[in-house]
């Protein structure tokens, strides 16, 4: 939501409603993070699961006439009342879960591609070093 509502030139969130939702969600995430013990005792905060982040954002996002601010087409497909959204909305949770799974799969694919690129770069550097040793460049011509 933040990326969508941020002005690319000024890096500022223009829509006051989006800004409020984002700020409130950040506060809730920080409160959650502070309430959790560190995972491995090293003092680093425990990562917040995507489901919790989605829950915080949805709870902070207003709903008007059955439409959920900032969710685009997903909101149009939902048939909800004007009550706040939570775990009782299975379709929204399913769609969000599918998006999270897709993001996770794409991140894994990107990680594999980065590893392949690193190996390719190493092979190319090795090849280039071998070629330079076999065919040195003479500066006198």
* Structural domain spans, the chain: 2-133
User: How many CB atoms within 10 Å of residue 96?
Assistant: 20
For the chain, 141 residues long, give each residue's pLDDT as a single digit of tens: 677 778 888 888 888 888 888 888 889 888 888 887 766 666 666 788 888 888 888 888 887 777 777 765 454 444 444 445 455 678 888 888 899 999 999 999 999 999 999 999 999 999 999 999 999 887 655
- Alpha carbons 115 and 124: distance in angstroms, whole number: 14
Helices in 48-89 by DSSP H: which ranges? 50-60, 73-77
Put simply, whether the predicted model's pTM sits higher than 0.75 gets the answer: no
């Amino acid at each position: 939501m933040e990326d969508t509502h941020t002005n690319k030139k000024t890096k500022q969130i223009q829509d006051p409603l989006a800004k409020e939702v984002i700020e409130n969600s950040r506060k809730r995430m920080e409160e959650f993070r502070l309430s959790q013990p560190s995972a491995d005792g090293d003092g680093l905060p425990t990562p917040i699961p995507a489901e919790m982040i989605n829950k915080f954002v949805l709870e902070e996002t207003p709903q008007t006439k059955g439409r959920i601010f900032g969710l685009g087409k997903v909101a149009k497909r939902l048939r909800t009342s004007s009550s706040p959204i939570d775990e009782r909305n299975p379709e929204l949770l399913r769609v969000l879960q599918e998006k999270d799974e897709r993001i996770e799969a794409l991140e894994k694919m990107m990680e594999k591609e980065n590893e392949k690129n690193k190996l390719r770069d190493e092979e190319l550097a090795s090849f280039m070093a071998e070629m330079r040793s076999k065919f040195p460049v003479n500066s006198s011509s």
